[in-house]
Amino acid sequence: MRAIVQRVCNAQVSVGGVVTGRIAKGLLVYLGVASDDTEADGSYLAEKVFALRIFDDADGKMNLSVQDAGGSVLVVSQFTLLADARKGRRPSYSNAADPVLAKKLYEDFIEKIRKHGLPCETGMFQARMAVQYTNDGPVTVLLDSQKLF
């Protein structure tokens, strides 16, 4: 499972012009599920997202988690995070999970974030989405449950 985590001042996701999720300060998380992922991968990433200390404390040091900073999370499914573009010009998505597994693990991830007590908004699984956000910093962190980076 892979995630791109961005610290944002605000973010929203829309489907067909209708907003499905909106947050003020917090984290925008793009989440991609691999074919060999399990609930353990989601638990690992949810814990990482919850505990990442990438918000400024009173001294201006990145020392606070999203919860410490009073933020929210917006989770957007993105199978293209599993793209393999090492060969040729057209990325291969063969490492991405089939939609049934991906949706289950995506929903499990969201539930794990909410169980931490964080407000969590979402996009719409398997929909063409428009995402708007203001990156704060910018701060962007790449996470991989297999610890590939």
What is the tens place of the pLDDT at every residue in 53-101? 999 999 999 999 999 999 999 999 999 999 999 999 999 999 999 999 9
Q: What is the mean pLDDT of the chain?
A: 97
Tell me the average pLDDT across 4-22.
Answer: 98
Report the percentage of the chain scoring pLDDT > 90: 99
SS3 state at 79: helix
pLDDT of residue 134 exceeding 90 = yes
Per-residue confidence (pLDDT) for residue 109, from 0 to 100? 98
Tell me the average pLDDT across 3-26.
Answer: 98
Q: End-to-end distance of the chain based on CA atoms, in angstroms?
A: 12
Residue carrying the six token digits 């989601």: 42
Domains of the chain, start order: 2-139 (3.50.80.10)
Q: Dmax over Cα atoms in the chain, in whole Å?
A: 48
pLDDT 10s digits, 47-66: 999 999 999 999 999 999 99
pLDDT of residue 149 exceeding 90 = no
Say which residues have a Cβ less than 8 Å from residue 106's Cβ, sequence separation at least 6. 31, 33, 75, 77, 125
Under DSSP, the state recorded for 136 is E
Q: Which of 30, 29, 42 is nearest to 1 (CA)?
A: 42
Residue carrying the six token digits 């988690």: 65
Tell me the average pLDDT across 1-23.
Answer: 98
Q: At what angle do helices 99-115 and 39-51 cross, to 10 degrees?
A: 40
Residues tagged active-site:
78-80
Token pair, residue 21, equals 């999720």
Per-residue confidence (pLDDT) for residue 99, from 0 to 100? 97
- C-alpha 127/C-alpha 53 separation (Å) is 31
Q: Which of 15, 142, 130, 135 is nearest to 81 (CA)?
A: 142
What sections of the chain are H helices per DSSP?
A: 39-51, 99-115
Give the predicted TM-score (pTM) of the model: 0.97
